[in-house]
């Protein structure tokens, strides 16, 4: 995808609106517990500052109520919870929930991010109290060359996710150039990711450019053998990804919960393991498609199974098609670990998305660990496709040993599926 980047436009003295992804986890004391997304945005921000731009950063944080709109509305989950209460309790519960929602403005504020960004940049980063309100507008107007302003949480406005044209136009008023450097939200057609591009020259930052170059290059011109590793819970979540990858890869490894649907479709006994019965015919079709195209789908041959969804359950090692009743598959077994690792060693281009088991339980994390270590030691192009696999590789300490860890979860999946991402499509071509 040959998109213009920040290096293709003159930013000196210009107001530049940058969509970043500062949706970072914080503890109860507002301390940031994982700043990878902040660090990922630094090259773009530093380039703009070095080239004397006036930088306005915008991002979402979490899933807040729309506290900057005229009325705060409860979400579907909250409504369902209240509707389940006795009728006489619902009015009071609604009032309490609405009052609690007002706390989003402090709980999900980007102020701690602005403070941490100041430390990284070695200069003051200004923080707006609103998004398109008087405080933000005044501070943006006062920016000098080489200064940075962070707008408040975009999702405090309902108009952001609705891609409201007027809201997008208001945001565009902060810039003469628009830069998208938030790959993790590029699959959403929101006001800040797609809408603003209708009003400003739109280019990508270094982070999105890297995502497109490395992931796009792997899909289009891979060094072979090309291996994809898919895990996670459900086949239904990755139907499109599997179909697209079968057109491109040489070998496809399927692990995690989704593998049990394939095992059952092949006539295996999977006990109480996760299975999408309505997707078994699809699983058969995908296996047939792979065979027709001369591609190999590699499934587990043994599993670690437990008698409860717990780290402390009774667990056994069994053949993947012979899991007894009362037990559910929780991880790949030792023979499968060796099988998968050998496939990884032979590959020269690898894309991995999804853990091999319930890796949050230490006793069932060995499969994910073995695959992660093998991928990290592979000398070829190794890409971690965001989501749980990205978290796993970070936790295991292998992130700096792979070619690329994608910053997108859903965005990475849709990219691997071959779907055009709205936030990328909106950017100007070279």
Q: Which domains does the chain have, with CATH numbers?
A: 6-67+104-208 (3.40.50.1260), 215-417 (3.40.50.1260)
Which residue from 373, 269, 272 is spatially nearest to 322, judged by alpha carbons?
A: 269
Is 169 annotated in the active site? no
Residue of 146, 216, 217, 410 with catalytic role: 410
Residue of 387, 408, 409, 423 with catalytic role: 387
Q: Round to whole Å and give the CA distance between 275 and 223.
A: 34
Burial of 86 (0-12, 13-18, 19+ CB in 10 A): exposed
For residue 74, what pLDDT is reported? 86
Is 337 annotated in the active site? no
Q: What's the predicted TM-score (pTM) here?
A: 0.89
Q: How many residues does the chain have?
A: 430
Which residue from 1, 5, 413, 48 is spatially nearest to 234, judged by alpha carbons?
A: 413
The runs of H, that is alpha helices, within 279-329 are: 280-293
For residue 1, what pLDDT is reported? 64
Is 387 annotated in the active site? yes
Hey, which bits of 232-389 come out as E strands? 251-254, 269-270, 296-298, 302-306, 315-319, 322-323, 328-332, 349-353, 381-384
Which residue from 17, 15, 35, 36 is spatially nearest to 26, judged by alpha carbons?
A: 35
For the CA atoms of 229, 235, 237, 243, what is the dihedral angle to 10 degrees? 70
Is 410 annotated in the active site? yes
Residue of 234, 296, 395, 401 with catalytic role: 234
Q: Round to whole Å and give the CA distance between 178 and 165.
A: 16
Walk along the chain (430 residues) and give the pLDDT tens digit of each residue: 689 999 999 999 999 999 999 999 899 888 998 888 899 999 999 999 999 999 999 999 999 999 999 888 888 898 999 999 998 998 999 899 889 989 999 999 999 999 999 999 999 999 999 999 999 999 999 999 999 999 999 999 999 999 999 999 999 999 999 999 999 999 999 999 999 999 999 999 999 999 999 999 999 999 999 999 999 888 888 889 999 999 999 999 999 999 999 999 999 999 999 999 999 999 999 999 999 999 999 999 999 999 999 999 999 999 999 999 999 999 999 999 999 999 999 999 999 999 999 999 999 999 999 999 999 999 999 999 877 788 888 888 888 999 998 888 788 888 888 899 999 999 999 9
Task: With beta carbons less than 8 A apart as the criterion, state whether 128 and 139 touch.
Answer: yes
């Amino acid at each position: 995808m040959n998109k213009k980047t920040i290096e293709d436009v003159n930013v000196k003295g210009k107001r530049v609106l940058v969509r970043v992804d500062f949706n970072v986890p914080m503890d109860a004391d507002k301390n940031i517990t994982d700043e990878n997304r902040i660090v990922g945005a630094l090259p773009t921000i530093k380039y703009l500052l070095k080239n004397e731009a006036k930088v306005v950063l915008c991002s979402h944080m979490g899933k807040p109520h729309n506290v900057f709109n005229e009325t705060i509305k409860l979400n579907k989950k909250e409504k369902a919870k209240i509707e389940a209460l006795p009728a006489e309790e619902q009015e009071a519960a609604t009032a309490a929930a609405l009052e609690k929602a007002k706390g989003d403005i402090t709980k999900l504020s980007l102020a701690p991010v602005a403070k941490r960004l100041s430390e990284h940049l070695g200069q003051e980063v200004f923080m707006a109290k609103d998004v398109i309100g008087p405080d933000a507008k005044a501070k943006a107007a006062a920016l000098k060359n080489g200064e940075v302003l962070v707008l408040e949480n975009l999702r405090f406005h309902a108009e952001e996710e609705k891609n409201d044209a007027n809201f997008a136009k208001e945001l565009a008023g902060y810039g003469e150039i628009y830069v998208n450097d938030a790959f993790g939200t590029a699959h959403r057609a929101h006001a800040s990711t797609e809408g603003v591009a209708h009003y400003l020259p739109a280019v990508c930052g270094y982070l999105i450019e890297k995502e497109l170059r490395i992931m796009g290059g792997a899909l289009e011109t891979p060094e072979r053998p090309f291996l994809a590793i898919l895990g996670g819970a459900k086949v239904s979540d990755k139907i499109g990804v599997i179909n697209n990858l079968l057109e491109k890869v040489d070998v496809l490894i399927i692990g995690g919960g989704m593998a049990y649907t394939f095992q059952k479709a092949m006539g295996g006994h999977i006990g109480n393991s996760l299975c999408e019965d309505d997707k078994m015919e699809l699983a058969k079709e995908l296996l047939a498609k792979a065979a027709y195209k001369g591609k190999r789908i590699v499934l587990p041959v043994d599993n670690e199974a437990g008698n409860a969804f717990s780290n402390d359950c009774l667990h056994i090692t069994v053949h993947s098609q012979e899991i007894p009743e009362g037990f559910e598959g929780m991880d790949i077994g030792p023979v499968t670990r060796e099988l998968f690792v050998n496939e990884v060693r032979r590959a020269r281009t690898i894309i991995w998305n999804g853990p091999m088991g319930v890796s949050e339980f230490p006793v069932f994390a060995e499969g994910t660990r073995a695959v992660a270590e093998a991928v990290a030691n592979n000398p070829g192009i190794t890409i971690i496709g965001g989501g749980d696999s990205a978290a796993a590789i970070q936790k295991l300490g292998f992130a700096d040993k792979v070619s690329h860890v994608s910053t997108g979860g859903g965005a990475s999946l849709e990219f691997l599926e071959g779907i055009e991402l709205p936030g990328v499509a909106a950017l100007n071509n070279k």
